[in-house]
Amino acid sequence: MVQTSLEYIAAGGNRHPSAADWASGLLAFGAGNNIALWNPDDEEHHGVTALLAGHTDAVNAVKFLDRGHQRLIISGSADMTVRIWAASDQTPNGYHAVQCLSEHTASINAIATLEGTSIFATGAADGTVKIWSLENATAELLQSISLKPRYFPLTLALTALSNGAVLLAVAGTSNSIQLYVSDQIGCEFALQATLSGHEGWIRSLDFTKERCDDSTDILLASASQDKYIRLWRLHQSQDGATIDDPETAGIARPAEKKSLSNKAHQVGSTEAKYNVTFEALLIGHEDWVYTARWSPTRDETGNPLLLSASADNSLSIWHADAGSGLWICSSRLGEISSQKGSTTATGSTGGFWIGLWRPSGQSVVSLGRTGSWRRWVWHSTNEMWLQQIGISGHVEEVRSLTWAPSGNYLLTTGSDQTTRSLSLWSRNDSSSWHETSRPQIHGYDLNCIATITENQFVSGADEKLLRVFNKPKAVDNLMARLGNFAPSIAADLPDAANIPVLGLSNKAVATVDDEDATAHLENGNAAEREAVDPSAVIHRSTLDLRQPPFEDHLARHTLWPEHEKLYGHGYEISTVATSHDGSLIATACKASAVDHAVIRLYETKDWREIKPPLLAHNLTVTSLAFSPDDKYLLSVSRDRQWAIFERGNESPGLYTLHATNPKGHSRMILDCDWLPPAAGSAFVTAGRDKSAKVWKLESGEAEC
């Protein structure tokens, strides 16, 4: 009996600042309606190991809650529910759902937990924050806070004060931060202070202690769409004194004297009062700041480190200078924003949405707009952050996939407007799957894809034409090197591809040696240097990799050049198939009438359409498939019927209608395929009536 096992999961992360959390040995993040589990420290690079399924809409918030003997994952979704997952050795994915909370009436946007306690808070687009208590992995609602003035909470943070009090910070679609205090766990929270200063929505809040001792001050970091990060200090007052009192004003820290506002707020319980003051304004990001997270560890002087992620495609690590007390950026990771070419002001959703610390420090990860996770590790020997292999995946629905004829790589395409190739990285003692190229970055949602030869594929999108792409030599060599197989013997492969400035199609480009590129720039005059498009110059050394490419390399240097465009359809392409001998391409488009519900055939020798088109359906053809010997072409449609066309003996490019069934399914048919040759002329259809049917073709008729 054939046995199957999970080999690889590719899942892009959801673009929401609260949609991920990193605990010891495991990072959980929202991936569509699921929660993906990944161990970034896995030396075998197996990527995502499991998906937790249960939510019916996008997961917006994920938090770990370690309770000593038990680890929980708390997730919130746009389906208006909060789900609690408990670690379990009895399930294949390591976690099982224990409870679903449905008290919110809108999308969940934020979750906050308090380490060492049994409480957590959830914030939703219904304008409320709810406080919960956990007892044996079962949550009970303690309090519901209606935010006034009304706004949507986007971020929450909890911290413990002295004498058992708990502080809750809430922020979101307003310019201020609200501080709520509960005298002890289990008591109700009451609003005690509102911190103002930001000039945009606040996307992230995080607490930390300034020092490791219990009597130290507490720092609150807030990140906003105004491009700034603000730090707030919570200092426990003595005998009820405040920083504004003349008696204590002289002992204020130098940083407090230099702050933009010296207004002090007071929060806390009756026994322990805290003065909240503005501490520092961190300036350096050029676009919205999505997250600000304190490091679980400290620097050499014992001071905390802050990690910020921004839409300007950068991560910044901040620390307080020991001499001046000023907060400075000690490291900046990511990309230069000018290379991105767009900002949120121009409608871009680029940049880094999430930045997280490893629980033990010394490593950070970030989530980009393409759904990929980038990872950096601190190397003390070199005293620098070095990028390591991360993971990637589609961020929208995967519409189609196809294997290369050799099986050496898999092509996938989807609604995120990208085509990706996945291949195996074989080492001496292990192997793992990775994204090795991104052949197509399109402006339309991609609907279908099919390989023509080992080095060529065709794809269709929400546009009227199809595009044919050739594998570049750099990608071919990379796949062969990683997979330990021979590269292609084709001599006409282009070196690489790029999209020209103001261009829409991938163009083939030739690589240059590093010395040649330098000499060209040095010898040319100023006018010539300015005329050179930097993206058109690709150094050969840039493409010579010994491991799977990083995200920035995937997006810039692994495009496949466009070889041909195929015209003829009047509406968006719905499906495409290629013959096994690579000589024919069959395509169809979206249709609501017979005139457009046709199947067009193209021969791949000179890319001409074979006329007339094939007629059989009344509505959109949803899937096409050639039989293993290319004798038959099978089509299925929204009109609930399937049709089979037979190849002519005298003219191999011409197909004629051979058999049809107008009532193949009771609802629209979604997909079809042929069984292996050993089964004879048999095929399978699957429809929206929740059934899959096997048909046997004999004597011009097919029976189920």
DSSP string, 171-239: EESSSEEEEEEESSTTSPPEEEEEEE--SS-EEEEEEEESSSSTTS-EEEEEEETTS-EEEEEEEE-ST
Lowest mean pLDDT among 138-152, 356-370, 519-533, 638-652: 519-533
What is the pTM for the complete model shown? 0.90
Cα–Cα distances in angstroms (integers) from residue 102 to residues 109, 140, 186, 621, in the given order = 14, 12, 21, 40
532 pLDDT more than 90 = no
346 pLDDT more than 60 = no
Q: Can you tell me the distance from the alpha carbon of 587 to that of 566, in angstroms, rounded to the nearest whole number? A: 10
Q: In what order do the strands lie in the sheet with 431-441?
A: 398-403, 409-414, 418-426, 431-441
Of the candidates 139, 149, 148, which has an alpha carbon nearest to the alpha carbon of residue 111?
A: 139
Give tens-digit pLDDT for 16-26: 999 999 998 89
Token pair 């949405």 is found at 353
Predicted local confidence at residue 251, as pLDDT: 33
Q: HSE of 433 in the Cβ direction (CA atoms, 13 Å)?
A: 18
Predicted local confidence at residue 525, as pLDDT: 53
| Mean of per-residue pLDDT scores for the chain | 89
Centroid of chain to Cα 160 = 33
Of the candidates 287, 246, 286, which has an alpha carbon nearest to the alpha carbon of residue 264?
A: 246
Among the ranges 244-258, 326-340, 407-421, 648-662, which has the highest mean pLDDT value?
407-421
604 pLDDT more than 70 = yes
- What average pLDDT does the segment 557-573 reach? 95
Predicted local confidence at residue 30, as pLDDT: 98
Of the candidates 169, 175, 167, 228, which has an alpha carbon nearest to the alpha carbon of residue 202?
A: 175
Give tens-digit pLDDT for 429-453: 899 999 999 999 998 999 999 999 9
Structure-model confidence comparison of residues 203 and 552, the more confident one: 203
pLDDT confidence of 84, banded at 50, 70, 90? Answer: very high
176 pLDDT more than 50 = yes
Task: Write phi, then psi, for 640 (nearest 5 degrees).
Answer: 75, 10
349 pLDDT more than 90 = no
- What average pLDDT does the segment 527-550 reach? 69
245 pLDDT more than 70 = no
372 pLDDT more than 90 = yes
Predicted local confidence at residue 246, as pLDDT: 36
